[in-house]
Amino acid sequence: MLRKYGWRMLVTSVLTLLPIAAGLILWNRLPDEMATHWNAQGMADGFLPKGAAVFIMPVFMLAVHWICFAVTMADPGNRAQSSVLMRMILYICPVTSIGCGVLMYMHGLGRAVDVIPVMQMFLGVLFIILGNYMPKCRYNHTIGIRLTWTLRDEDTWNRTHRLAGPVWVIGGFVMLCTAFLGVFWITLGVLLAGILVPVVYSCVYYHRKMEG
């Protein structure tokens, strides 16, 4: 699998570090302290020195990228995993790194950015994409809804992911449609529903199956 996805890891690793190159190009125009975190009201409440913001954030994302890749490759269950799902997973960290870099640099350059709608739209698109491929996620121990009962029974695993798919897609469209309403609790509710609905369903299904 390493040979199969090795070149993609090289490409995605370069993409993950792309914000460093952008930061070096914009270096003289950036402030000495840069916002790296925003609260639920969209106000910047976390700052780092310019050098740390430019270098540490992408390097941290690269480390997460490689750890996730190593853990995924070590799981024998992923040898038969959907290649489309595997490729999609490889691009989550690069897209996140680039997106955070864009927000960070735009804020540093004094450009007005309403962070909350942007993050809601990002989450909405991510939910839609993941939801489309969730039913294709084959039984494994690293990717997907990994619960005690889904890992014990492959049928429970399959049914849980088939349910989670449309739930996440619908939730993603809800987040996209409400992104500019300024109502953060809607996104929070969608996130909770996306987690709780499959978890509760799978728990009930598994125990009924075992009792039956």
Instruction: Give the per-residue pLDDT at 88.
Output: 81
pLDDT at 64 over 80: yes
pLDDT, tens only, 73-129:
888 877 777 777 788 888 999 999 999 999 999 999 988 778 888 888 999 999 999
Instruction: Give the per-residue pLDDT at 2.
Output: 59
pLDDT band at 1 (very low <50, low <70, confident <90, very high): low
Copy the structure tokens of residue 198.
């499959």
Copy the structure tokens of residue 71.
């853990």
Pairwise CA distance, residues 138 & 75, whole Å: 12
- Mean predicted confidence (pLDDT) in 6-32: 93
- Mean predicted confidence (pLDDT) in 26-35: 93
Statement: the pTM of the whole predicted model exceeds 0.85: no
Could you tell me if residue 182 is left (phi over 0), alpha (psi between -120 and 50 degrees) or otherwise beta? left
CB 171 within 8 A of CB 127: yes
Furthest C-alpha separation in the chain: 68
CB 36 within 8 A of CB 50: no
**Percentage of the chain surpassing pLDDT 90?**
58
- Mean predicted confidence (pLDDT) in 150-159: 95
Q: First CA to last CA across the chain, in angstroms?
A: 39
Pairwise CA distance, residues 69 & 66, whole Å: 5
pLDDT at 17 over 80: yes
Sequence-separated (6 or more) residues with CB below 8 Å from residue 126: 92, 172
Sequence-separated (6 or more) residues with CB below 8 Å from residue 99: 122
**Which of residues 15 and 142 earns the better pLDDT score?**
15
